[in-house]
Amino acid sequence: MQTATGFLHEGRAYGLLAAAGLRVPRHGFLESGPLPFVPGEPIVLKGIADQLWHKSDKGAVHFGTFDVDVLKAEAAAMQQRVAEHPWVGGLVCEKVAFKRLAGLPTEALVSLKRDPDAGWLVVCGIGGLQADAWASMAPPMIWPIALTTPAQALDDLRAHWLGRTWLGHQRGTEALTDETKLLAFLQGLWRAAEGLEAEGVTLLELNPVVLDGEGLPTALDGVGTLEAAAASTVATPDPAWYQALLNPRSLVIAGVSSREGTVGRIILENVRKASLPASALRLIKPGTSEFLGLPCLPSVAELAIAPTDQLILSLPAPQTLEAVEQLCRQGGGATVVYLVAGGLGDGADTEGLGKRLVACLDEHRRAGKWTPAVVGPNGLGLFSPDQALNTLFIPGVKLPLTAKPGHVALVSQSGAFLITRLSRRAELGLRAAVAIGNQMDLRCSDFLVGFASDPAVSVVGAYLEGFAPGDLKATAAAAQTLRASGRRVLLYKGGRSQEGMAAASSHTGALAGDHALQAAVLRRAGVMLAERMEAFDAALTWLGAYPKGRPASIAIMTNAGFESVASADLLNGPFRGSKLTEAETTALAATIEAEGLTGLVSPRLPLDLTPMANESAYLASAKLLLASEAEAVVVGLVPLTIRLETKQLEAIQSFASELASLARASGKWVGVAVEGGPLYDLYRQGLRAAGLPVFLTMEEALEGLRLIATEM
């Protein structure tokens, strides 16, 4: 028996669960013949009707004993009580005796959900009548099936309030089940998802799931929804776009004005500083054959016979759309097109221009026709150090960029986020930094796939305000590929609050979505998800210097008591303060004596060298700590002491070089926090120039390490 309106009733739900090997009550419909019960046996009668989600509220649940005549009469009465719902039948179920604990929740709520953006999910939390209240204290666990194994889910359940209660890990309780039974239950849920997919189920909610007398998780109730899955017909862009964007052999700009300081003019001025051959750069400028010494084309139509790797359109939104549509009509012209203009698919688009753009690209790709790969719209540009290529519309006097190739790739939906990171972290060695705008064509996942194909990329840092439809799952898959090859992915997701969602939507047309769901999916894919921008910046700084490793044992060395105390407070959770052996403690005491600090400094960790320590004391102590069990040494430098040279560049460089050499020789991480004002910027620059990650505070340095330590 099944309804025709997309409602999955309990009888069908039991069948799907049982087929996956999960425990469900013995059951049968009164209308279907012999039932698996004996007279007088305790049972539960449930009235099953289309779209009847809460049977108890409608008087459609009856507890009694098995007597067919009595149950038929009760079922008829139920049918009258739910007359607005088409009747399916009276479902007779075994009354399951289940385990309880006084004062503690022992019932679970489990949902299997086919999410259009994330795929199949299992959501598991505390169930029963007080499920909502408990959820605020013990948020449910979210397991993306494609990214999580049942064994990993068991690890989470073991640490959750529900699992601790079931396994007897709460104070003063006994175990109601064991890990073997829970693992088998989770494995059954993973199998059930396959069956649900085949049946077109989109949601199956089990509430409650209880532990029977043998400790077997048992679903007492289950309802859901059905809907045929929509087939995806969107083709992916030609992978050639990646090199055409980062290392173009030819580049064309449309929208360069004769007026200085305009967007197109700034882009051109920046691009002309790149290592592109002079013949590789052209402009589109109607009515002239040459402008500012560069050859000009009258329109994008000319690119049909003289194509370019990259076309930058710095035009108003309507003209931008017309240019892309022309390229598609003529079947060629540019491998990748970068759209600068806003007003396409965001809060300023009142004419549906963005929808026209998406429809044009989609129509051509689905028909197998040539289609350009498009970045943006609302894009601020990119920086690719290999060619010193800067297409940002920020003048060099505001953002001087040094071509320092490296292993970090930055991708940001917000151009402002990107350029502020480039300004603040000029020491980063970059493969590329790209503002991707509204993601109307090339999406976050496409960039991660591109980075995964690029052996020069070891670390990807990303800022997103929202995922394009369906791109959460694709982004997670691309991140998983990066992680499988030993690369790192660090992400800050904006638009988490209702206010943030509204701001993101008006600015970029982004859909913020469910942050808890997105976070669960991304973390399972191995993404380091920063909850604060400061943590993102700190982790990126560490990974910019050390792309490999994940330190868990940290040694702290400072010249200020407050830094030692505050740092010790932060060494918990995913990492700990390292310990010294008896021999190492003796060696440290000897070092302290040799540096003339006896009576001032105690040979223990965190190591407080006091303001009387000079560079020699720091270096000698660092060498000893790097030979200990510590996997990272965080050095706190309060530079106001006269014992440290902070003005003479040569002396600063010498100290920084020796400290960096110790780090390289040990193969361990060394970071430095310089807790002082602008007067000590030269000091910081000298340390950064040696390749050391430098922070403003010890807290910042340790917060970055903490985020890295949580990586799955």
Range of weakest confidence among 100-104, 177-181, 351-355, 696-700 = 100-104
**% pLDDT > 70, the chain:** 95
Q: Residue 96 and residue 213: Cα distance in Å, rounded?
A: 8
pLDDT (0 to 100) of residue 657: 98
Written as one letter, the residue type at 55 is K
What does the pLDDT average to over 221-248? 84
Query: Which residues are paired to 387 by β-bridges?
Result: none
Tokens representing 594 are 């040799």
**Length of the chain in residues, anyone?**
712
CA separation for the pair 552, 539 (Å, rounded)? 14
> In the numeric block, which tokens belong to residue 106?
């022992």
Question: Distance between CA atoms of 698 and 567, rounded to whole angstroms?
Answer: 7
Number of H helices, E strands in the chain: 22, 31
- Please write the tens of the pLDDT for every residue from 122-147: 999 998 767 777 777 889 999 999 99
Q: What is the mean pLDDT of residues 86-102?
A: 94
Please state, in angstroms and rounded to a whole number, the distance separating the CA atoms of residues 113 and 448. Answer: 26
- The pLDDT tens digits of the residues spanning 473-532 come to 999 999 999 999 999 999 999 865 544 444 443 333 333 348 889 999 999 999 999 999
Give me the domains of the chain, ranges plus CATH numbers: 26-94 (3.30.1490), 108-226 (3.30.470.20), 241-544 (3.40.50.261), 545-709 (3.40.50.261)
In this structure, the number of other CB atoms found within 10 A of the CB of residue 296 comes to 19
Residue 541 near residue 695 (C-beta atoms within 8 A): yes
Q: For residues 381 and 358, give the distance between their C-alpha atoms in angstroms, rounded to a whole number.
A: 20
Torsion of CA 678, 679, 685, 686, to 10 degrees: -160
* pLDDT one-digit tens code per residue, 14-61: 999 999 999 999 999 999 889 999 999 999 999 999 999 989 999 999
> Measured between alpha carbons, how far is residue 657 from residues 89, 161, 516, 553, 651 in Å?
80, 50, 44, 24, 10
**Burial class of residue 347, CB neighbours in 10 A (0-12, 13-18, 19+):** middle
Average pLDDT over every residue of 259-268:
96
Taken in order 398, 404, 408, 410, is the CA torsion positive or negative?
A: positive
Model pTM greater than 0.95? no
What's the gap between Cα 478 and its chain centre? 11
Cα–Cα dist 267/312, whole Å: 9
Task: Say which range, 127-131, 168-172, 518-522, 569-573, has the weakest mean pLDDT.
Answer: 127-131
Output the pLDDT for position 13: 95
Task: Look at residue 235 and tell me whether its pLDDT is greater than 90.
Answer: no
DSSP secondary structure of 335-401: EEEEE----SSSTT--S-HHHHHHHHHHHHHHTT----EEE-SS---EEEGGGTEE--SS-TTTS--
75 vs 66: CA distance, rounded Å: 13
With residue 417 as reference, give the H or E element that holds it: helix 415-424
**pLDDT computed for residue 469 by the predictor:** 87
Task: Give the amino acid at 18.
Answer: A
DSSP bridge pairs for 91: 29, 46
Q: Which residue has the higher pLDDT, 227 or 462?
A: 462
Determine the pLDDT at residue 228: 65
Give the separation between CA 67 and CA 237, rounded to whole angstroms: 65
pLDDT at 509: 36
